[in-house]
Structure 1
């Protein structure tokens, strides 16, 4: 207490802990503690009450909802399961009295509610039709809308939290704590900052950067519009290396990998798109011909990519090239053997028919792998540049990679899925080009959707401010016409990315003249 304080007067509030700081100070709850412990829970509630969060129930995960009935995961159910896995990992680490727990304490601890908030938010930026929509929006943004940074779902997530959504107390953004904002930064860099860096060899680039010489980082969590805010957020963590995730972010990232590798297989099994003959054939062929395949050149593997065993050999070489710090031939072989037995020979031997036996089989399969991965969590105080502080053990890392390979090889590369995705890509193109043309129409632009017009005005102002205060982060021309073009393009991308699958289909039909409905109850 200061010397001139009167008896009974309230003590001076202590400074806000860096992790609890919000972008804009908010009024304290009446009669409350200045910086209450429920700061993080408030963040979690703001995210879960967000319309962007609710929208995820109508956004494709991988298999379209109509393909196999109500059992298929969407982005919301995926986010809920990631949150459940992440919370269990965080609570386990927080209560761990062994070496992992001691490492976490030395790193500053792991707050389970921050982890839950980050896991709930991690897919907010996904556009209609999942990763296909992300790829199309990125291409259109860069090639047609004058946005060198393009579009990226992770960066869009941060943009939603920081600018597009609102909690009613601040003009823009949810005004979350620094801890939660930092915890969603899986790839804490902008796209273009990597384009001008001296290229790093495979194995030394952070995961997600890829070959950045042409367009910049492949994965990134920050648009240049929000780079200054991210710098302030990460200043709350002075011990972080430049490209390192926070502890809570690394837990969320691991949980996302676990849920994706297991629960999507659940969907594919139920939808009947995983065929035992094809999956078992690939796994067994590699185990049988491992030595022979190792002698083949990369060119030979590409030429015979559909021959059983060749895809797994290509996967192994890619893992070894990109992640020599953890890739191990014995661990890879064990992963292939385990997946071959438990998936190829056991689960897929029981075709899914909706009956009790099939339900018990998929439930047991999921439970076994979840338990295995949660037991395989480790903490690394000095992680490799391609890893987080909380990561999977060496064997679990190989297991996840093999399970993901099954996704890619036998689902994502299927011609029938590709046919559907071609149509979905056309829907995205129709929306982006239609709304862009509308905003450029001097006679009719004023009748465009109000949210789109307001978003465009704000985006133009934001780019103009960025030009004044941080001109070095803008790539390409920055004259007034270019700034207007950037703002218009970013507003169109924000608008289309905020639609659900069904809204995208409906509005694309309407804006292209394919629907005769007069009134819309959609996002317009």
Structure 2
């Protein structure tokens, strides 16, 4: 007798699957994984910054090697979840936890990251909202979803990779739009999900993090449809939760490993911060919050500020004894063992770094648990309290002693200027009637695609066409302006770090040689 296909494996365009596109795997979810890996958007991640530009260095992760590590961890977590009856049954009731889906989502989770990583994300968001009036702005997770559903053209359909519903849903780390979806919006909840609240410094702009633009809302709804009665509309699917947690684990471990290897993460400064907090935690607990901020460079102050922020944001799990134990463990295994001996490229140093990574990855993966009713600020797949606190302390070390370095800030200000100038130059080219016909073909195609999308929204869902100021967007010229902005942002976001710099040199006349790269032009 006929059986209904698994709704999790349903693709947006089933008819297109008979169009001759060769898939090498039998499992539909394994096919998703293969399609993501075969995408040029995946290959370009080798040239996109993770934290600092890794060009020419085998010691630093780029977005590609980071994604491979996240995929490794995600598969291990998913297999652990399904290995026991208890957690496996819980996952099944919540919609399923297929290791191939978790791995595919992990491989694809950073496809939308623009040149220069998070710095590029902030710059393009500001330009998209302020210059082009795009209320959606730019967000790396939403750009990832746009790529796999819309702007990737090398798959089996004219638009997107035609992934299964399960994999599309697993890519939705923040399963809502910035402003328009769902209703009521999770930003209005008493305790919003992580990322759903508005940025304190930008009231009225919508959620700080989100996973779909207005143009991809139909794909969001379709991907989430099989999970409608399994998880809340604002909750991640189990597989998305696995991907999110794997990203956190990889980030907490491998970025520290990188900066130890290149000599940036110094034993003395990290040891002093952690040691001083442990020695004076009682005194630090009595200091006013303003004093902690004003004196954040004094050892122990920044860590005490983290402890208080954890209580304010994640009181459901934060515990002072667990926090102190996590500080002690990080001090012992990161500071006193790994950082105590400078990395010199020797076999001994390489093995010490590998042991640190392997030991911590195993510890954190072994700390995974599945819960049926998680607090709003975490997913169904989370960490036990001890490991959760340890991840927070590891991420603190990275943020405090790497991301907040003045020399990194200097470098990033230059990158921000580069991206802004490139957008200006491309926008001017688009506006030049005499030269517009010589636009890069990729940019020309993106303009046409975006115009078709926004024109369609104007006809069927005009309420979604809201400018950055909150005013409705009406009229052909205004719609064309939104499309032009989205196309330029799509184009710049699809470049590698090196492509962005080289293209700006060429378009501004600083390069003596004609610049041509077929993948862009």
Q: How does 1:197-276 map to 2 (within 5 A)?
A: 204-211=191-198, 213-238=203-228, 239-276=230-267
1:339 is paired with a residue of what secondary structure?
Answer: helix
Q: Deviations over 1:224-260 (max 9, x none)?
A: 1111221122111122201101111111111111001
Q: Against the structure 1 CA distance between its residues 129 and 347, is the aligned structure 2 distance closer, same or farther, given a 3 Å change threshold?
A: same
2:398 is paired with a residue of what secondary structure?
Answer: helix
Give the corresponding residue for 1:43. Answer: 32
Give the corresponding residue for 2:470. Answer: none
Q: Deviations over 1:408-464 (max 9, x none)?
A: 110111111111111111111111111111101112111111110111011011011
C-alpha displacement of 1:106: 3.1
Matched residues in 2 for 1:234 and 1:318: separation? Answer: 33
Worse overlay, 398-407 or 471-480: 471-480
Q: How does 1:391-430 map to 2 (within 5 A)?
A: 391-430=382-421
Matched residues in 1 for 2:219 and 2:317: separation? Answer: 34
C-alpha displacement of 1:293: 1.1
Matched residues in 1 for 2:138 and 2:17: separation? Answer: 37
C-alpha displacement of 1:129: 0.7
CA contact (8 A) 1:430 1:512 kept: no
Greater radius of gyration (CA)? 1
2:488 to 492, 509, 516: 492
Say whether residues 1:158 and 2:136 are aligned partners: no
C-alpha displacement of 1:360: 1.6
Q: How does 1:5-24 map to 2 (within 5 A)?
A: 12=2, 14-24=3-13
1:70 is paired with a residue of what secondary structure?
Answer: coil
Q: Against the structure 1 CA distance between its residues 28 and 464, is the aligned structure 2 distance closer, same or farther, given a 3 Å change threshold?
A: closer
Matched residues in 1 for 2:365 and 2:67: separation? Answer: 17
C-alpha displacement of 1:200: 6.4
Say whether residues 1:72 and 2:68 are aligned partners: no
Normalising by the residue count of structure 1, what TM-score does the alignment of the two structures yield? Answer: 0.93
Give the corresponding residue for 1:9. Answer: none
1:391 is paired with a residue of what secondary structure?
Answer: strand
CA contact (8 A) 1:195 1:214 kept: no
CA contact (8 A) 2:455 2:479 kept: yes
CA contact (8 A) 1:167 1:175 kept: no
C-alpha displacement of 1:288: 1.1
Give the corresponding residue for 1:277. Answer: 268
Matched residues in 2 for 1:218 and 1:348: separation? Answer: 34
Q: Against the structure 1 CA distance between its residues 397 and 60, is the aligned structure 2 distance closer, same or farther, given a 3 Å change threshold?
A: same
Worse overlay, 382-391 or 99-108: 99-108
**Number of aligned residues:** 506
Q: Against the structure 1 CA distance between its residues 200 and 520, is the aligned structure 2 distance closer, same or farther, given a 3 Å change threshold?
A: closer
Say whether residues 1:382 and 2:347 are aligned partners: no
1:324 is paired with a residue of what secondary structure?
Answer: coil
C-alpha displacement of 1:16: 2.3
2:505 to 481, 486, 509: 509
2:104 to 108, 117, 121: 117
Matched residues in 2 for 1:28 and 1:184: separation? Answer: 21
Give the corresponding residue for 2:125. Answer: 138
Give the corresponding residue for 2:90. Answer: 103
Matched residues in 1 for 2:442 and 2:342: separation? Answer: 47
Normalising by the residue count of structure 2, what TM-score does the alignment of the two structures yield? Answer: 0.93
Matched residues in 1 for 2:175 and 2:30: separation? Answer: 23
CA contact (8 A) 1:202 1:321 kept: no
Matched residues in 2 for 1:26 and 1:117: separation? Answer: 22
Say whether residues 1:92 and 2:80 are aligned partners: yes
C-alpha displacement of 1:193: 3.4
Q: Against the structure 1 CA distance between its residues 199 and 38, is the aligned structure 2 distance closer, same or farther, given a 3 Å change threshold?
A: closer
C-alpha displacement of 1:102: 3.4
Matched residues in 1 for 2:436 and 2:16: separation? Answer: 40
| Runs of 5+ consecutive residues of structure 1 not aligned to the other structure | 2-11, 31-35
C-alpha displacement of 1:197: 6.7
Matched residues in 1 for 2:28 and 2:209: separation? Answer: 30
CA contact (8 A) 2:180 2:214 kept: no
Matched residues in 1 for 2:14 and 2:189: separation? Answer: 43
Matched residues in 2 for 1:172 and 1:123: separation? Answer: 19
Matched residues in 2 for 1:196 and 1:246: separation? Answer: 19
Matched residues in 2 for 1:245 and 1:379: separation? Answer: 13
CA contact (8 A) 1:195 1:215 kept: no
Matched residues in 1 for 2:496 and 2:180: separation? Answer: 31
